[in-house]
Structure 1
Amino acid sequence: MTRNLHQIKSEQTRERLLDAALDLMQTKGHGQLSVHEVARAAGMTSGAVQHHFSSKAALMLEVITRVIAQLEDASDFWPPAHWPLAQRADHFVQQAWATLYGQPRFTVAWSAYLAAREDELMVAHIVERRGWLTASLQQRMAQSFPEMCQGPQATARVQFVLSALRGMGLVAPFSPAAAMPAQLQVLSQYLQSFSTQET
C-alpha cells in the first residue's frame, strides 16, 4: 500500500523526536528527561511529542526498542558461535554493558516505566513490547550460546541473564565503581558453565 504525504511526514516527525530523545538520553546522564526538552531538541512543540507518544514512558519504550533493534544489526555485538565459550561469554557481557545496560539511557527509560506503573494501559503496552524484545534477544542468544539454550530451562536461563543485566543497570548509579566489573565477571562465568553436552 502506497503511503501518502501526510503519513510520510508523520513518520519523519516521529523519527526526529526519537532521535532527539536518544541524543538527550546519551548526554544527560542519570537526570530526568522531560517531554519539553525532547520537543525543544527536535525543534518542535510539546504538543508534537504528545501527538506521537501517549506518555513519556511510551517515548522511552520506543527509544529502547530502537536501541535493541540496532543491536540486532550490529555485527560486533553478538559473538559468533564458533568462538571459544569463554571468549563469547566475556564479549557478550562487556558489549551488553557498554552499549545498553550500563548506559544512562537505560536508567532514564526505567525511571519512566516505573513512573507509569499505575497506568494499566501503559503497563500492558510495556509488557507487550518487552515481550517482543525479550523474544528477539532470546533468539540471538540461542545463536551465540547454543550450549545454554538447550533443554526445558533454556528460556529461564536467558531471562535470568537479561534480568541480571537489567538489575545491574538499575543499581549501578548507587554502587561502588568496582562492583559492576566484578559482577559482570560472575555473569560471564555463569554463561561459561554450560557445556555442549548439557541438555
Structure 2
Amino acid sequence: MNRKKLQKLTDNLTKNCKHFNRSEVTCLIKLFYNLVGDVAERPVAVVGLDRNAFRNILHVTFGMTDDMIMDRVFRTFDKDNDGCINVSEWVNGLTVFLRGSLDEKTKYCFEVFDLNGDGFISKEEMFHMLKNSLLKQPSEEDPDEGIKDLVEITLKKMDYDHDGKLSFADYEKAVREETLLLEAFGPCLPDPKSQMEFESQVFKDPTDFSDM
C-alpha cells in the first residue's frame, strides 16, 4: 500500500474511531497488513484475517484459551459476517476491545455471550460457556451438577425480570451494579497486562514502520 492510500484509509477510519488517534489508527492499519501478509500471493480477492489467523492473535497476544469464546469474539468483530475480518472491522473492533467505555464493553460482551444471536443469554448458553471456562476438577460428584447450580446462582443474581433467561436489560443492570459480572461467562476482553503490552508494542511512532 502506498503512502497516499494509507493516508486516505487512515483518514476514513479515524473519523469513526472514538478511542484511537490518527497515529494509533495508522499503526493498527500497518499491523493489520503485516498480519495479513503479502496480498499479491493470495488467490482470493478478500483481504483480511480469517478465523484461524484471528484466533491465533487472541491466543498468543491476549492469552485467550477458550475455543467457544474466541469463536464468538471473531464473530463479534466480523460485522458483515463474511468469515473474514477486514481492516475497518479490525480497527473498529479493537477500539471497543482495548479502550471501550463500560457501555460499549457491556454491549460487546453481551453479543459474545448470546451464542445464537436471539437477544437473550439462555440457561443452556450459560451452561455451555461455564462448562467450557471452568477448570475441570477431579471429584466424586458429577461436574455438570455443579455447573447447573452455578447457572441457577447466576440467574438469581442477574435475572431481574425472572423469566429464566438474561435479556440485555438484565445483563446491563447487573454489570452496572457489579462490574466484575461483565465477563461472568468467560474472559472475552484482554487483561490489563496484555492490553498494555500490545499497545506499547504497536503504538510506536508510525514513521518507524517501513513503507508498505
TM-score by length of 1: 0.25
Using structure 2 for the length normalisation, give the TM-score: 0.24
Higher helix share: 1
Higher RCO (C-alpha 8 Å, min separation 6): 2
